[in-house]
């Protein structure tokens, strides 16, 4: 079976890990904004943070950018935000 070629103007979805552990407000949101700005639609970001304010800042950022929060995972004081670039 032949592999399907992507349509012109499309790309393979990328999965990117963004390690923002140890950064304090507002740096996690600012760095996430910068990364998402250069992302292509459909890219998936796994954003790791340990700043308690990231639980508020990252969802608020996504409300501004229109990108989609797929999932928020919390393990003790660490957050992982799974984000789809739109």
For the chain, list the domains and their CATH numbers.
15-84 (3.30.110.40)
DSSP 20: -
Whether 49 is catalytic is no
pTM: 0.84
Backbone angles phi, psi at 77, to 5 degrees: -95, 10
Question: How far is it, in rounded angstroms, from Cα 33 to Cα 31?
Answer: 5
Q: State the catalytic residue, choosing from 16, 18, 25, 30.
A: 25
pLDDT digits (tens, 9 = 90+) for 9-54: 556 789 999 999 999 999 999 999 999 999 999 999 999 999 999 9
Task: Name which of 24, 15, 19, 26 is nearest 61 in CA terms.
Answer: 26
pLDDT digits (tens, 9 = 90+) for 64-84: 999 999 999 999 999 999 999
């Amino acid at each position: 079976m032949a592999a399907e070629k992507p349509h012109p103007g499309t790309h393979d979805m990328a999965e990117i890990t963004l390690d923002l552990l140890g950064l304090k407000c507002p740096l996690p949101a600012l760095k996430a904004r910068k990364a998402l700005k250069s992302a292509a639609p459909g890219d998936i970001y796994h954003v790791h943070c340990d700043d308690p304010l990231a639980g508020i800042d990252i969802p608020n950022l996504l409300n501004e950018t229109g990108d989609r929060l797929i999932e928020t995972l919390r393990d003790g004081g660490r957050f992982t935000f799974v984000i789809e670039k739109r």
